[in-house]
Amino acid sequence: MTELEQEPAAAASLFGDRIELARQFAQALASHGEERGLIGPLELPRLWTRHVLNSVVAAPLFSGRVGDVGSGAGLPGIVLAIARPDVHWVLIEPMERRCIWLSEQVAALELDNVEIVRARAEEWTEGPVLDQVTARAVSALRTLIPLTAPLVRDGGELILLKGANASNEIAAAEKQIRRFKLTDVRVEMVGEGVISEPTRVLRATVSR
């Protein structure tokens, strides 16, 4: 069996007094993630670096009531809920088996700042009420904007965790950016000097 990556030194400072919960979640993913179709077999040796720390470095950017579209294994939603107990997280995930996993983790970690909604983003019924919406490894920006922007209140924000192609995705999504009235669209790097692979975050304000 592949070994779980050793916990990087930066993890304890990033999670602070919540580090034990992060360890518990990483261990649960390592033990059950592959068999339950949540992570691939190659992810264990880089689970901390590529997934957990990649998610948690964005934690300071959030406030209020935040949606995580396509939460899947809980990356970034569960990780962010551990790091930011002062923020209310709405994990939006269409697949039943993934929602069961998310519910198990919320119970095991005793996270009282999380609600789980089993739905596709386009089935969201509350309207544009969230302060911010995030997503990680869901789809290209031109596809993601129509799924996420309608959930955000006027003046709220999209905070999307993206890969190296983020700037090109902005150029390819010009039509959707105009249609959904996004302003101040930009890519920021978070975690530079803290983790070995900083995270690219695409931020945009939603104007109605």
Q: Is the pLDDT of residue 105 over 80?
A: yes
> Looking at residue 190, what is its pLDDT?
97
What number is the average pLDDT over the span 51-72?
97
Pair 170, 192: CB distance under 8 Å: no
Which residues have CB under 8 Å from 15's CB, separation 6+? Answer: 21, 22, 56, 82, 83
142 has a pLDDT exceeding 70? yes
**Enclosing H/E stretch for 159:** strand 152-162
Grade residue 3 by pLDDT with cuts at 50, 70 and 90: confident
Whole-number Å distance between alpha carbons of 200 and 202:
7
Among 135-139, 157-161, 180-184, which stretch is predicted with the lowest mean pLDDT? 135-139
pLDDT at 1 over 80: no
Question: Residues 41-53: what's their mean pLDDT?
Answer: 91
pLDDT score of 2: 65
The mean pLDDT of 138-157, rounded to a whole number, is: 95
Residues 44 and 23 sit within 8 Å (Cβ to Cβ): no
